[in-house]
Amino acid sequence: MADLDPMKFFALWMFTHEQADDLMVQSVERGKAVAGEGMSGGPDAFTDGFMAMVAEEKARLKAQIASGHGDEIAEQGDEHIDELKFEVAELRGRLDQMQTTLDAIAAHVGAKGA
């Protein structure tokens, strides 16, 4: 590993990302071309459509940031994070209740089996 040339490493890293970027651009273009056709575009239809939607959202975000409304984006993100935290807490509470119920059932079944 000591023989590894840092310039070669970063060149390979850059090449890999360029290839991934090219593939993503192609996916977005395919997704835009078949927009509204559903899943009829072959095995990559979902990925292509999803990437096209992400690209549209990226364009909207760039426009918002360029127009000086970047702070609004951060505030919206904070609201969504708070909502997600609440939902996760709700799920955690439900899981705890389920675990308590399962423990009680296991104890009951174990007591009858003994």
Q: By CB neighbour count within 10 A (0-12 exposed, 13-18 middle, 19+ buried), where does 67 fall?
A: exposed
Query: Is the alpha carbon torsion for 104, 105, 110, 113 positive or negative?
Result: positive
Most confident of 42-46, 56-60, 110-114: 56-60
Mean per-residue pLDDT, 31-43: 70
Out of 3-17, 35-49, 54-68, least confident range: 35-49
Listed by start position, the domains of the chain span 1-68, 70-114
pLDDT band for position 100 (cuts 50, 70, 90): very high
What is the per-residue pLDDT across 51-89, written as a single tens digit (0 to 9) for each?
888 899 889 888 888 888 767 666 666 677 888 888 888
pLDDT at 68: 81
CA count, 13 A, side-chain hemisphere, 52: 18
pTM over 0.85: no
φ, ψ (nearest 5 deg) of residue 37:
-90, 0
- How many angstroms separate the first and last alpha carbons of the chain? 60
3-state secondary structure of 38: coil
Q: Retrieve residue 85's tokens.
A: 């935290």
